[in-house]
Structure formats: structure tokens, C-alpha cells
Chains A and B, each alone.
Chain A
Amino acid sequence: DTAVSQTPKYLVTQMGNDKSIKCEQNLGHDTMYWYKQDSKKFLKIMFSYNNKELIINETVPNRFSPKSPDKAHLNLHINSLELGDSAVYFCASSLADRSGGYTFGSGTRLTVV
């Protein structure tokens, strides 16, 4: 009964490809997020999304786009992958008022070669 599940766990792909990472939460949370963790463990928020608004971290390249088919899913689509996109990507979710903190998925390790 994984609360926040991401697939795939590992993704190795070539530069220039387009890829997607899927995220699903079964907690009934209203808001979902995508974080990027670099090799130095630094966590950077990429997107925050609920059914009302999408908040985008302005430093995220527009090659990255979140897609939410419904409240329980927030997928991350990446176009024209670059070497610098290699990182671990974490999906997370929370209640709209964030009163319970954030629940994170297990991460997707993306390697661009």
C-alpha cells in the first residue's frame, strides 16, 4: 500500500530523448509536487500543483512539464533530455493546507548518457 509511488525507479536514456516519470498518490491529498535532487543532495522544488493552480519554479527549464490527468496523479514529462538533467526526481504530495507535511515517493534516478 505505497502512499506515493513513482515509476520507473531507474531510467537511463540518451541525450535528446523525451521521457516521462509517473507519480500516483493514494492518500487523498490535494496537492502534488516534483523535486529534483542533485548529486550533492540538494533538493530543488520544480512544481507545485493542485486542481486550482500550478506553481512553477521559474528556474526550471520549459523542457520540463507536469501533467495531471486527475487529482491522484502528477506525471513529469521531459523533452530533449540533457546531461545536466541527470538526478533523482522525487514526487511528493500533501493536503492543500500542508498540515500533515509532505509525503515523498521513493524517487526516480534519471541518468542521461
Chain B
Amino acid sequence: AQSVSQHNHHVILSEAASLELGCNYSYGGTVNLFWYVQYPGQHLQLLLKYFSGDPLVKGIKGFEAEFIKSKFSFNLRKPSVQWSDTAEYFCAVMGPLGGSYIPTFGRGTSLIVHP
């Protein structure tokens, strides 16, 4: 079975601070990894995804994530956050593409950025 653990449940930062949100997964095979963002009162939007290739993935709005296979991690980073980054962030893991796998989301990290 696959599982996702997001270590930080609540993060509070000031604008221009650097961000790193932790995500660790548990899955015994090839994985596909995602980060989603949910702005207040809105639906989930895809920030970035990793399927294969370069383990450093760049997404929208200046976000990036690094897949470290040996650590089963896919941490999300942004060098300088903005007030508009205030949102819930969800890491998700899924088994190999094309298979009948149910995607699993982490419990989310609530990010508050103070102006």
C-alpha cells in the first residue's frame, strides 16, 4: 500500500522567506509524485509533477521539488514566498502510470505568509 507523510502541518512565514515543505512517501515500486495547491475556498491545482528523468522538477509560480529516491522524499521549495502563496499544499503519490492505482494524498500543509 502507498502512503504519504507531510511533516509540517502548519507553516507561518514572512514574505521573502524561503520555503521548504517536507513530503515522504511509502511505496515499494516506481512512483509518480505530485504537489497540489489549494487556495482558500478554491479547488486543488497542480503545482508540479514528477514521473521520471531529472529529479529536480520546476513547477508554476516559482515552485520546485526534488525527488530523492534514497530518502523516499519529494520536498517542495520556493526561494522567496509571497503573501499570495498562502494556501494548503498537498503532496500526492501514485503507482506506475497506466496501472489501476488509487492516488494517495498527504494530510496537507497549511502555509500562511505574512506581508
Contact = CB atoms under 8 A, between A and B. Distances in A.
A42 B44 contact: no
Most buried by B among A40, A53, A98, A99: A98
Contacts of A105: 43
Chain B interface, >50% SS class? strand
Interface residues of A, number: 25
B100 A53 contact: yes
Interface of A: 33, 35, 40-45, 48, 53, 55, 57, 90, 92, 96-99, 101-107
Nearest to A94: B103
A98 B102 contact: no
A42 B43 CA distance: 13
Nearest to A31: B100
Nearest to B88: A41
A101 B104 contact: no
B105 A43 contact: yes
A7 B50 CA distance: 31
30 contacts: A33-B103, A35-B105, A41-B108, A41-B110, A42-B105, A42-B107, A43-B90, A44-B105, A45-B102, A45-B103, A45-B105, A48-B100, A55-B100, A57-B102, A90-B43, A92-B44, A97-B98, A98-B32, A98-B94, A99-B51, A101-B46, A101-B49, A102-B44, A102-B46, A102-B103, A103-B46, A104-B43, A104-B45, A105-B43, A106-B43
Contacts of A92: 44
Q: Interface size bucket, B side? A: 20 to 34
Interface in B68-112: 88, 90, 94, 97-98, 100, 102-105, 107-108, 110
Contacts of A106: 42-43
Contacts, number: 57
Nearest to A98: B97
A98 B31 CA distance: 12
B34 interface: yes
A76 B90 CA distance: 24
A45 B104 contact: yes
Given A98-B32, A104-B45, A106-B43, A43 B102 contact: no
